[in-house]
Amino acid sequence: LGYFMREKAPNVALLEQFRAFIADGSNSVFERAQLLGALGYAATKESLDVLIQVATTLSDNQIKQAAISQIRSAASLRGDGTFHEELSPALERVWRESHDQDLLPSVAVAIAKVGASAGIELLISSALASTSEKDTRARVAQRALSEVLNPHAVPILSEYLVDQPPTGAVAKLASSTLANMGDATAANALLNWIQKADESAAPLAHDYVVDTRNPTM
């Protein structure tokens, strides 16, 4: 079913049936969760909208948690190696508008996995907005950035390194995100920055080499 929804043009009537079935508490939790799983596998803009609606409007906690889990899954890199950046605007909107402590971590990870430039910039801005350990949104954004793999995120991360001291919070966040990506594009951006930095970058250079687990990086 998920594959069918991914491959065929969106069917509004079918999606409305899904919404009604999931919202109907007389249907079993198992069946409703299975349908949410199909929507997560489909990973289209339309199926993501249904998942977001369920996660933000239904009071049934089991179903809500299932939808939250599928939001994270929907953003995963597919077998074709494609990052589906068309999902990012809806996720970014939820990140800006929601204060749900259960929902925000999955949305942040989804934004990071999709890796669209606007989404990455939003996470970086959120991560740098506060240094307080009590600021959940900032901490969630920081952790989510470790999930970034999309090479399209490299230019925006590189921009954050321009004229930044290696020991500053901005540089540490952007450079560690590049280091975690593990591909040649990210490696070259990181190397270019380190080569132009002053000697305070030496500990970072050491750490990134030691932590590297990817031959390309």
CB under 8 Å to 114, separation ≥6 — which residues? 75, 83, 84, 85, 87, 88, 91, 150
pLDDT per residue over 68-101, tens digit each? Answer: 999 999 998 776 778 999 999 999 999 999 999 9
Please state, in angstroms and as integers, the Cα–Cα distance from residue 6 to each residue in 11, 41, 100, 214, following that order: 11, 8, 28, 32
94 sits in the region (left: phi over 0; alpha: psi -120 to 50; else beta) called alpha
pLDDT tens per residue across span 189-205:
999 999 988 898 888 88
Closest CA to 102 of 132, 62, 74: 62
Residue by residue, DSSP assigns 103-140 as HHHHHHHHHHHH--HHHHHHHHHHHHS---TT-HHHHH
* 117-136 residues labelled b (16+ CB within 10 A) or e (exposed): bebbbbbbebbbeeeeeeee
Q: In the predicted model, is pLDDT for residue 30 greater than 90?
A: yes
Report the phi/psi class of residue 163: left, alpha or beta, with left for phi > 0 and alpha for psi in -120 to 50.
Answer: left
Which tokens is 82 given? 């494609």
Residue range 172-188, pLDDT digits in tens: 999 999 999 988 899 99
CB contact at 8 A, 217 and 183: yes
SS3 81: coil
